[in-house]
Amino acid sequence: MNIIMQQLINQKINSITESEFIQLAHKHGYQVTPAQTKAIFKIIKAQRIDIGNRSQIDQILERLRTETDPYIAGVVDELFEQFQHYLD
C-alpha cells in the first residue's frame, strides 16, 4: 500500500466540502441532492476517515444504509472505490 497516496486520499476525503461532493458524484454519474449530501456528511464527518481501514469504511457504509438509504450508501461506496486502485 502506498502510504503517501493513502495520506493524500484521506486528506481529500476528510476535507471535501458538500458542494465538492455533489460535483464529484455528478462527475461519476450519480445524482445526489443537497439534503442527501447533508445526511451523508452528518455520518462521514463524525470521525476522521482512513480509506485504508476497511472495517471503518464498512461501518460508515452500514450507517449510511440504515440512517439514510441503500442508494446513498451505494453512491458513497462507489466513490470510495474510485480511490482504492491508488492504494494497491
Name the average pLDDT for the chain.
90
CA angle, 82 as apex, 80 and 85 as ends, to 5°?
Answer: 110
Per-residue model confidence as pLDDT tens digits over 17-50: 999 999 989 998 999 999 999 999 999 999 999 9
Its pTM stands at: 0.85
Residue 9 predicted with pLDDT over 70: yes
Q: Where are the domains of the chain?
A: 3-86
Q: Give the 3-state DSSP-derived string for the chain, with helices as H, strands as E and coil as C.
A: CCHHHHHHHHHHHHHCCHHHHHHHHHHCCCCCCHHHHHHHHHHHCCCCCCCCCHHHHHHHHHHHHHHCCHHHHHHHHHHHHHHHCCCC
